[in-house]
Amino acid sequence: QLVESGGGLVQPGGSLRLSCGGSGFTFNNYAMSWVRQAPGKGLEWVSAITGSGGGTYYADSVKGRFTISRDNSKSTLYLQMNSLRDEDTAVYYCAKDGFGATPGLDAFDIWGHGTMVTVSS
Amino acid sequence: EIVMTQSPATLSVSPGERATLSCRASQSISSDLAWYQQKPGQAPRLLIFDASTRATGIPARFSGTGSGTEFTLTISSLQSEDFAVYYCQQYNNWPPLTFGGGTKVEIK
């Protein structure tokens, strides 16, 4: 399973770090992603990372502001969010790639419950 | 960027009836398509991957077809627990990975 934490209320321009703990599978064998969902809206892929952590990928909307990373010794995925904007307000889900260590080759087979990030003054 | 378009936005169906949901890609994605179900307040759940393969534990009433740019999710006989929002997602050409806007299946 996957369990996210770290969400909360932050002012525009502020920072927040999300965490996602994995269990029940060999964490370093799988690519991971963050997917967000603004209130009442659809799903938006945010970022992905390879199983080793050596490759990272971002949506244009967050490139240069967000950083994805992982600590395989702790089976934990992170999302460092800087320069937050109102439009970053969303539930953030972490999701496991179903195939293996390279992202984008398969669907997301396991999702966390999500953590809410609210950017507001 | 590959744009995924789902139709209809809302589908009203009676329990026991068949539901057919569509998803169109702006360019060919082979069979690199997934379908997810999301209920209010819950995370998405994987139903179908590779356009037609049911995920573990998914009932046989859910089926996926299509390749290239046109895809369909069919729920053969709607149960009460199937009323939800359904999303398609492509993983053929990325970044970015892209989702459709969703189809809400509601009780008629």
For every residue of A26-52, DSSP letters joined together read -GGGS-EEEEEE-TT--EEEEEEE-SS
pLDDT value of residue A105? 87
User: C-alpha angle with apex B66: B62 to B71, nearest 5 degrees?
Assistant: 75
pLDDT value of residue B16? 95
Give the closest of B34, B97, B101 to A42, CB-based.
Answer: B101
Q: Which of B95, B74, B72 is closest to B23 using CA atoms?
A: B72
Measured between alpha carbons, how far is B65 from B46 in angstroms, rounded to an integer? 15
Q: What is the pLDDT of residues A32-58, one digit of tens each?
A: 999 999 999 999 999 999 999 999 999
Give the closest of A45, A93, A98 to B96, CB-based.
Answer: A45
What is the residue-averaged pLDDT of chain B?
A: 97
Measured between alpha carbons, how far is A6 from A17 in angstroms, rounded to an integer? 6
Residues of chain B contacting A35 with CB distance shorter than 8 Å: 44
Closest-CA distance, B84 to chain A, in angstroms, reads 13
- Do the strands A76-81 and A66-71 form a parallel or antiparallel pair, or are they unpaired? antiparallel
Give the closest of A60, A107, A111 to B91, CB-based.
Answer: A107
Q: What is the pLDDT of residues B4-47, one digit of tens each?
A: 999 999 999 999 999 999 999 999 999 999 999 999 999 999 99
Mean pLDDT of A58-80: 98
- Is the Cα torsion angle A87, A93, A96, A101 positive or negative in sign? positive
The letter for the amino acid at B65 is T
Contacts of B31 (CB under 8 A, 6+ apart): B50, B51, B52, B66, B67
Torsion of CA A115, B96, B21, A97, to 10 degrees: -60
When pLDDT is cut at 50, 70 and 90, the band that residue A104 belongs to is: confident
Measured between alpha carbons, how far is B43 from A94 in angstroms, rounded to an integer? 10
Residues of chain B contacting A42 with CB distance shorter than 8 Å: 87, 99-102
pLDDT value of residue B65? 98
Q: Which of A11, A10, A3 is closest to A112 using CA atoms?
A: A3
Residues of chain A contacting B87 with CB distance shorter than 8 Å: 42-43
What is the residue-averaged pLDDT of chain A?
A: 97
